[in-house]
Structure 1
Amino acid sequence: MTDTSASDRPVQGPVLHDEMPEFEAAWATPPGWRILSSVSHRVVGQRFIVTGLVFFLIAGFLALLVRTQLIVPNNTFLDAETYNQVFTMHGTLMMFLFAIPILEGFAVYLLPLMLGARDLIFPRMGAFGYWCYLFGGIIVLSSFLFDAAPDGGWFMYTPLSTSQYTPGLSADFWLIGITFAEIASVTAAVEIIAAVLCTRAPGMSLTRMPIFAWYMLVTAFMIAIGFPPLIIGSILLEIERVAGLPFFDVTAGGDPLLWQHLFWLFGHPEVYIIFLPAAGMVATMLPTFVGKPLFGYGFAVAAVVTMGFISFGLWAHHMFATGLPTISLTLFSAASTMVAIPTGVQIFSFIFTLAQGRPRLTVPMLFILGFLFIFVIGGLTGVMLASVPFNWQAHDSYFVVAHLHYVLIGGMVFPLVGAFYYWSPHFTGRMMSERLGRWAFWLMFTGFHITFFLMHLTGLRGMPRRVATYPEGLGWDRLNLLSTLGSYILAAGVLVFVWDFLRHRMSGPLAPRDPWGAGTLEWLYPPIAPGHNFHAIPRVHSREPLWDQPELLREHAHLAEGVLRGASHGMRETVGCHPVTGEPLQIVRLPKPTWVPLWAAATIAVAAVATLASAYVIAGAALVAMLVCFALWAWEPSQTGETVDTGPEGVLPVNVADRLGHTHIATIGTLLVLAALYGSLLFSVLYLWNVHPDFTTIAGLADPLWAAVAGGLALVLIASSKVAAHKGPRLGLDVPVLLSAVATGAGLFVAMLQIDPRDTAVAATLWVMAGFVGVMLFVMAFWSLFLAVRKLFGQVAPHHRVPDLNRGSFGLATGVMVLIAVVVLLAPHIEGLS
């Protein structure tokens, strides 16, 4: 996938001849190797998609190795150690480096086009996230080069993954690489939240948003809350492996089940994080081929939001066999069953949409029908596994493997391949082959069922997961043989799809404008994508503007009519809207190509690799370089006070400074991620405290006087941050914020000196929690110092309140975190007095 340079196309329409060159130049993609500096959502989205596809093919090859090993009993094709590495890397690549990144790539590419925006609202954040994803994936894959591929499963359960049972670097490659790659997911989540809420076309209220935007908005919030528990769990396990702190060591009050709780707090919402974007693709493509709007739009949106909430209440669905209390099993079983309701609402919405007309059986439509058939079966087996007695029997058997693949391949891969066929004109300007597409579908559909349907029977006959071989005569031989043959058929279908995708870029037929007759805005322009999205951003009046506003499809209408026509002063600009109504509020100035996101990600990659090599001095230096990169990122003059004539919408201010502005909403989204990280640490402390009270020292955990002092200073920090945010950019107001942040951190550190982190798991976790708060306070102090320097050099306009407003929100969150830490530290003393 390559972006077609704007300079390679003729000017479209004589009326626009004078303004098009300036506009095209402002949005042109850098040529040659300098394309690496591009921050365009088109380029970044294509990078995510292509990289995710590569990881998918590698993971698929590993899956074929697994199935080849199991084709006959007592097979010696792979030894047990290699088999463990292969299935671990297969699951790791599929779950962490393919499924979510490629779906986020489609979202990064499509959302601005669907919403009527010229780019994502934070283009550099998207580029930074991609480089983190790429470097993290390379770190994980490079473990093969050092004969240190992880072999503890894609879930990396403790105590198997601790240094006692897994010496060497294999688990470290997994923990550091995956944690690094997760940065991409959470940055993309914050970016998607801000983009969907703040950059929609005029008139596009929340109730007029394309359904895909709703799916991605809910998914982004789920990522922001669901991924931090895994990040915290990975950090705790890596600290235990490197420094010996006893988070999961039973002899010191730790608990291996803490890892499972943290992992599945991420892992079960992840199933729906994978499903929802793919279902959003289906909900977008299906009306196109039926020729009718999506049936029950409001019900579908309510179901998506409901699923987002419920998905966080059933993580122990995967832990029924770990000895949890009976009341817990009952509650989680009920939640696991309840999630079928919003899922069913969406499926019925799709079915009733089909019933409104006679669908055209194109290749994307075939994959949609395949999705409906396969996912419903996977959902039914999911309800079966929600029953505790049945779960106890099927747990860790091939029945669960079959269920997992019916949900993930049926619920994600089939819609994804359909999406490739549907949106390929955007990437290449050409259509993929209907004939090859049908071959790909039927091979994949047939091979899938032969492979995984039979695994239900294999599991019910007692075959456990993750075994490298098995003896004859247990009734598994023929089923495994057929499953392996089916996997080869499935792989053949994937190869046909990949060949078609590669082939069509050169020889596929040219795509006409809106080749499928869709109603959403991404098809407004001809399919050979320019460097920009909209020369003029149209006002919309419905969810299907290309169906309900035919005037938009008149020749050159998409170039001449709309808001913010052309480029003022050669700047990259888009319209910022009210988060609810969609009415224009501001003009958002967007950055041009820059190398800073690549540099910032590279410094973190160096720190990660240096940590693997135990070169901690280099790791520290790399983190300092990272701070420099972020300072360069933020060092730019404020542009408030300027205005732009948008045409039909009148004059709008540039980068408006209030709580509805995009930077403040992104700050709130970032704080949501930080709150989830901190909440995961707090959960860990309370869990260990409750499960192993004998290892908790009731008196003398922390110095109560200094803990109380830190709490008082946190109140000062909150107050000074609020005053600075209210008074605006006055240089003198930064000093109390800076001093209170430093003093609070010092007070908390002194209070913690009485706690030995090697003593118990609770003590170790308290130190990590205090360290997290310390990092927040450091960021607060650095932010205040940096902002003061910017004001000193005139980088912040006298009326520009946004930096102080954002810092005020961050200061409030940091102060609250300190107060929570103080309450936890003082609780044993209060309990001792009572």
Structure 2
Amino acid sequence: MTQISLTPGVSHEGDHPSATHWKTYFSFSTDHKVIGIQYIVTSFFFFLVGGIFAMVIRGELITPPADLVERTVYNAMFTMHGTVMLFLWTFPVLLGLSNYLVPLMIGARDMAFPRLNAIAFWMVPVTGILMMASFLLPSGSAQSGWWSYPPVSIQNPTGYWLNGQTVWILAVAISGVASIMGAVNFVTTIVKMRAPGMTFFRMPAFVWTVFAAQIIQLFGLPALTAGAVMLLFDITVGTSFFDPAKGGDAVLFQHFFWFYSHPAVYVIILPVFGIFSELFPVYARKPLFGYKVVAVSSLIITAVSCLVWVHHMYSSGTAAWMRLVFMLSTMFVSVPTGIKVFAWVATIWGGKLRLNTPMLFALGALIMFVFAGITGIMLAAVPVDIHVNNTYFVVGHFHYVLYGTVTMAIYAALYHWFPKMTGRMYYEGLGKLHFWLTFIGTNLNFLPMHPLGLQGMLRRVASYDPEFTFWNVMASIGGFLLGMSTLPFILNMVSSWVNGAQAPANPWRAIGLEWLVPSPPPHENFEEIPTVISEPYGYGKSDPLVAPVDHGSEALPSEVPSPSH
């Protein structure tokens, strides 16, 4: 009888379970791996929808006058673009990666609550359908931006009770409930279902970041969900929580919104930090520098993230003392984040770098993040923030985080774990073409927004002064290039999944429990739950990650060459 050795570095070429039937991905499956891919594919569909909105917006802004779409349509489009990219792309795709990887990485057979996991996913298509309906309803589209500030969001010029804004808020509330369900599941899984011997300081950094991010969800998301429900009541049944004309407080909604929605940036970026921490050691063939400090820094970011939301409200009548406090707290986030950046650079430095597609995307995302961090420190300062408030400088900074860093890191993760998910190898040439189109397009699209903002061009407008034409043309060309960059990615993923070369169990010779099982993994992941006996990232070390399985004389040898060889 053939046994599988639970030892890093061993590649089992013949261990390829039958691929999951395509119909399974349209079913109510409770397998975390199926749910993970459901999240990823569904969110990528909405990513393309949000990208179409973005290209129409950039098409409008390529010339100074508003001459492509009507202003109301433009307002609806930038509302939908921001909403779709946040609620239907970045959050779900990262949940998909986390769903697929966390149980494998901690040695569990599935998530703690598989049915709850499936329910949380199926609320995503419901949210997406409602979002699309909010744009297409003849009674009027949602036009108040993805932040939906009152009093704009509680105005109802059409007179219809069921309008786009109502449906939009309902979709956001449902998304919030689904995310809370997911957070409960992840935290429980990580705390209760780790393999024997896997202490917290033996968990992979990606698991640490998911854990930290989901704690933020549990703590902050109820505030946004409650604010969305209160806003829905204001629009539908005539309450006056946020209506100043009836004694309400519109700024109160901003507090509800940003109390979660700025920490939400860390919910998104923390798993990205985990992706960096997983990929750099693999492709540099070195242990993660300062693993324990990197792990703890994720929890420090979680704690500080609850104390930064008012920096979005410096120009909303915020008291001077409050501006000072939140300026300092926002700048303090750079300390644990800087620790991580230092650790990644130290990991890469002097390593045996392999510049294949995942590593190129990870390095590109790190470069983008450092630039976004510099402009983020600038925006944390009260004088600078007030000067560029509501200008394209803020848009440029935000997109360097959300696209330059997050989306490029997601691409890195998808390429890296694609062989594990599908049992197939992607095409390296198409992958590198995808990287260069994305890297050039991102900088060409979003870098010009910074001088535009410093010169005073307002965001959320369909027309502008002709003096801003040059930078807008550059940004629009970059936006169209980003749209084109998805084509080689789609071609690569589809053709590789169908006809790609069969992947070995561990094509990158990586260290981690997910690489100790066949590709793709069997239904319950592990034939036998491994016992973890050392920290992760043992590149260049001879210590095994897990204890060898004792199968008597039939067991495979547990000693393998050091992965650094």
The structure 2 residue matched to 1:437, chosen from 404, 408, 431, is 431
Match for 2:210: what amino acid? Answer: M
Which aligned pairs between 1:750-761 and structure 2 lie closer than 5 A?
none
- CA distance in 1 between counterparts of 2:372 and 2:455 reads 19
Post-superposition Cα deviations, 1:667-705, rounded to whole Å, max 9, x if no partner, equal xxxxxxxxxxxxxxxxxxxxxxxxxxxxxxxxxxxxxxx
The structure 2 residue matched to 1:508, chosen from 490, 500, 505, is 500
- In the alignment, is the contact (CA less than 8 A) between 1:133 and 1:183 conserved in 2? no
Which aligned pairs between 1:685-764 and structure 2 lie closer than 5 A?
none
- CA distance in 2 between counterparts of 1:198 and 1:271 reads 27
How far the C-alpha of 1:499 sits from its partner, in A, is 1.7
Task: Sort the Cα spacing of 1:164 and 1:203 in 2 relative to 1 into closer, same or farther, 3 A.
Answer: same
* SS of equivalent to 1:533: coil
- In the alignment, is the contact (CA less than 8 A) between 2:395 and 2:449 conserved in 1? yes
- CA distance in 1 between counterparts of 2:178 and 2:486 reads 27
Task: Sort the Cα spacing of 1:14 and 1:341 in 2 relative to 1 into closer, same or farther, 3 A.
Answer: closer
Backbone CA RMSD of aligned residues: 2.4
- In the alignment, is the contact (CA less than 8 A) between 1:535 and 1:560 conserved in 2? no
Which aligned pairs between 1:150-299 and structure 2 lie closer than 5 A?
150-164=142-156, 167-168=159-160, 169-299=163-293
Q: Which residue of 2 aligns with 1:488?
A: 480
Q: Which residue of 1 aligns with 2:96?
A: 105
Q: Which residue of 2 aligns with 1:549?
A: 544
Which aligned pairs between 1:322-721 and structure 2 lie closer than 5 A?
322-472=316-466, 475-544=467-536, 548-549=543-544
* SS of equivalent to 2:424: coil
Task: Sort the Cα spacing of 1:14 and 1:504 in 2 relative to 1 into closer, same or farther, 3 A.
Answer: closer
How far the C-alpha of 1:143 sits from its partner, in A, is 2.5
| Rg larger for | 1
Q: Which residue of 1 aligns with 2:559?
A: none
- In the alignment, is the contact (CA less than 8 A) between 1:75 and 1:469 conserved in 2? yes
Post-superposition Cα deviations, 1:142-196, rounded to whole Å, max 9, x if no partner, equal 2234233311100001000114557541111111011112222111111010111
Task: Sort the Cα spacing of 1:153 and 1:231 in 2 relative to 1 into closer, same or farther, 3 A.
Answer: same
- CA distance in 2 between counterparts of 1:511 and 1:262 reads 48
- CA distance in 1 between counterparts of 2:451 and 2:128 reads 35
More contact order relative to length (CA 8 Å, sep ≥ 6): 2
How far the C-alpha of 1:31 sits from its partner, in A, is 8.7
How far the C-alpha of 1:294 sits from its partner, in A, is 0.7
Post-superposition Cα deviations, 1:204-229, rounded to whole Å, max 9, x if no partner, equal 11111111111111111001112111
How many residue pairs end up in the alignment? 537
- In the alignment, is the contact (CA less than 8 A) between 2:286 and 2:537 conserved in 1? no
Post-superposition Cα deviations, 1:51-87, rounded to whole Å, max 9, x if no partner, equal 1111111101110010000001114111101100111
Give TM-score scaled by structure 2 length: 0.91
How far the C-alpha of 1:253 sits from its partner, in A, is 2.6
- In the alignment, is the contact (CA less than 8 A) between 1:101 and 1:185 conserved in 2? no
Residue 137 (structure 2) pairs with residue 142 (structure 1): no
How far the C-alpha of 1:556 sits from its partner, in A, is 9.4
Task: Sort the Cα spacing of 1:385 and 1:31 in 2 relative to 1 into closer, same or farther, 3 A.
Answer: closer
Post-superposition Cα deviations, 1:779-813, rounded to whole Å, max 9, x if no partner, equal xxxxxxxxxxxxxxxxxxxxxxxxxxxxxxxxxxx
The structure 1 residue matched to 2:297, chosen from 282, 290, 303, is 303
Match for 1:420: what amino acid? Answer: L
Post-superposition Cα deviations, 1:631-671, rounded to whole Å, max 9, x if no partner, equal xxxxxxxxxxxxxxxxxxxxxxxxxxxxxxxxxxxxxxxxx
* SS of equivalent to 1:540: coil
* SS of equivalent to 2:448: helix
Which aligned pairs between 1:114-129 and structure 2 lie closer than 5 A?
114-129=105-120
- In the alignment, is the contact (CA less than 8 A) between 2:290 and 2:343 conserved in 1? yes
- CA distance in 1 between counterparts of 2:96 and 2:313 reads 32
- CA distance in 2 between counterparts of 1:552 and 1:12 reads 18
Task: Sort the Cα spacing of 1:283 and 1:133 in 2 relative to 1 into closer, same or farther, 3 A.
Answer: same
How far the C-alpha of 1:303 sits from its partner, in A, is 1.3
Task: Sort the Cα spacing of 1:323 and 1:423 in 2 relative to 1 into closer, same or farther, 3 A.
Answer: same
Q: Which residue of 2 aligns with 1:790?
A: none
- CA distance in 1 between counterparts of 2:257 and 2:229 reads 12
Give TM-score scaled by structure 1 length: 0.62
Match for 2:519: what amino acid? Answer: P
How far the C-alpha of 1:550 sits from its partner, in A, is 7.7
How far the C-alpha of 1:534 sits from its partner, in A, is 0.2
* SS of equivalent to 2:534: coil
- In the alignment, is the contact (CA less than 8 A) between 1:290 and 1:359 conserved in 2? yes
- In the alignment, is the contact (CA less than 8 A) between 1:399 and 1:459 conserved in 2? yes
Task: Sort the Cα spacing of 1:516 and 1:232 in 2 relative to 1 into closer, same or farther, 3 A.
Answer: same
Q: Which residue of 2 aligns with 1:788?
A: none
- In the alignment, is the contact (CA less than 8 A) between 1:219 and 1:308 conserved in 2? yes
Task: Sort the Cα spacing of 1:48 and 1:553 in 2 relative to 1 into closer, same or farther, 3 A.
Answer: farther
- In the alignment, is the contact (CA less than 8 A) between 2:39 and 2:121 conserved in 1? yes
Task: Sort the Cα spacing of 1:28 and 1:450 in 2 relative to 1 into closer, same or farther, 3 A.
Answer: closer
- CA distance in 2 between counterparts of 1:556 and 1:480 reads 66
Q: For structure 1, which runs of at least 5 residues remain unmatched after alignment?
A: 1-10, 16-26, 562-834
Which aligned pairs between 1:821-832 and structure 2 lie closer than 5 A?
none
* SS of equivalent to 1:161: helix
Task: Sort the Cα spacing of 1:361 and 1:322 in 2 relative to 1 into closer, same or farther, 3 A.
Answer: same
Q: Which residue of 2 aligns with 1:68?
A: 59
Match for 2:531: what amino acid? Answer: R
- CA distance in 1 between counterparts of 2:549 and 2:417 reads 22
Task: Sort the Cα spacing of 1:167 and 1:375 in 2 relative to 1 into closer, same or farther, 3 A.
Answer: farther
Task: Sort the Cα spacing of 1:369 and 1:143 in 2 relative to 1 into closer, same or farther, 3 A.
Answer: same
* SS of equivalent to 1:91: helix
Percent identical across equivalent pairs?
A: 37
Match for 1:101: what amino acid? Answer: P
How far the C-alpha of 1:29 sits from its partner, in A, is 7.2
- In the alignment, is the contact (CA less than 8 A) between 2:80 and 2:135 conserved in 1? no
- CA distance in 2 between counterparts of 1:333 and 1:545 reads 36
Match for 1:178: what amino acid? Answer: V
Q: Which residue of 1 aligns with 2:561?
A: none
Post-superposition Cα deviations, 1:695-730, rounded to whole Å, max 9, x if no partner, equal xxxxxxxxxxxxxxxxxxxxxxxxxxxxxxxxxxxx
- CA distance in 2 between counterparts of 1:477 and 1:28 reads 52
- In the alignment, is the contact (CA less than 8 A) between 1:133 and 1:182 conserved in 2? no
Q: Which residue of 2 aligns with 1:759?
A: none
Match for 2:315: what amino acid? Answer: A
- CA distance in 2 between counterparts of 1:176 and 1:518 reads 43
Task: Sort the Cα spacing of 1:539 and 1:550 in 2 relative to 1 into closer, same or farther, 3 A.
Answer: closer
- In the alignment, is the contact (CA less than 8 A) between 1:287 and 1:353 conserved in 2? yes
How far the C-alpha of 1:502 sits from its partner, in A, is 1.4
- In the alignment, is the contact (CA less than 8 A) between 2:111 and 2:185 conserved in 1? yes
How far the C-alpha of 1:406 sits from its partner, in A, is 0.8
How far the C-alpha of 1:560 sits from its partner, in A, is 7.0
- Could you tell which deviates more after superposition, 342-351 or 523-532? 523-532
Post-superposition Cα deviations, 1:223-261, rounded to whole Å, max 9, x if no partner, equal 111211110011001111111111112243311001111
- In the alignment, is the contact (CA less than 8 A) between 1:447 and 1:486 conserved in 2? yes
